[in-house]
Amino acid sequence: MSWNKPLPNVDADNQPFWEGLRRHEFLVFRCKRCGRSYWPVAYCRACPPEPFYGNMEWVPASGRGRIFAFNVHRFAFHPGFADELPYVYALIELAEGPMYGTNVVGCEPAEVRIGMPVEVVYRDVTPDGDAAPFTLADVRPVAG
């Protein structure tokens, strides 16, 4: 399969998330003290200050959430997306709390609604010229 779209930037903070997707595990960054979930943050905003990452751990999440906001893209901002138009990019409020931005698949753009329950669906892609596989996590509608 030829992948002709940009891929997310992987850095030291979010690398465990992308490694999780490779295993088809959807992870969130959770505070060991109070259980609040985040994307990578230096420390929990609700607990007393700790050394960076001192109280935080990556844990599997449900992969479920609801559509918080969305946009139907009818023009390609990158040539690689031209054959997918129109497509939906949405902000998902995960069941664990954090927001997650991704594509909505498995339904027509006109069917997407605010509050619609969704679940993560994994998409294994391989960038051209890169032997390392990469996995993205879209969402699709699910019975709520």
Among 3, 33, 50, 81, binds Zn ion (CB under 5 A): 33
Among 44, 56, 92, 137, binds Zn ion (CB under 5 A): 44
Q: Does 34 bind Zn ion (CB under 5 A)?
A: yes
* Min CB(31)–Zn ion separation in Å: 3
Per CB under 5 A, which of residues 114..133 are in contact with Zn ion? none
Q: How far apart are CA 8 and CA 81, in angstroms?
A: 15
First to last CA, the chain: 33
Q: Does 41 bind Zn ion (CB under 5 A)?
A: no
Assign residue 117 a region (left: φ > 0; alpha: ψ between -120 and 50; beta: otherwise): beta
Q: Does 59 bind Zn ion (CB under 5 A)?
A: no
Q: Say whether the peptide bond before residue 86 is cis (omega within 30 degrees of 0).
A: yes
What one-letter code names the amino acid at 28?
A: V
Bridge partners of 138?
121
**Can you spell out the DSSP letters for 50-75?**
-STTTTEEEEE---EEEEEEEEEE-S
Q: Does 54 bind Zn ion (CB under 5 A)?
A: no
Could you tell me if 112 and 70 are in contact, meaning their C-beta atoms sit under 8 angstroms apart?
A: yes
Among 41, 42, 47, 142, binds Zn ion (CB under 5 A): 47
* Min CB(46)–Zn ion separation in Å: 5
For Zn ion, the closer CB: 28 or 44: 44
For Zn ion, the closer CB: 97 or 141: 97
* Min CB(52)–Zn ion separation in Å: 14
Site residues for Zn ion per CB under 5 A: 31, 33-34, 44, 46-47
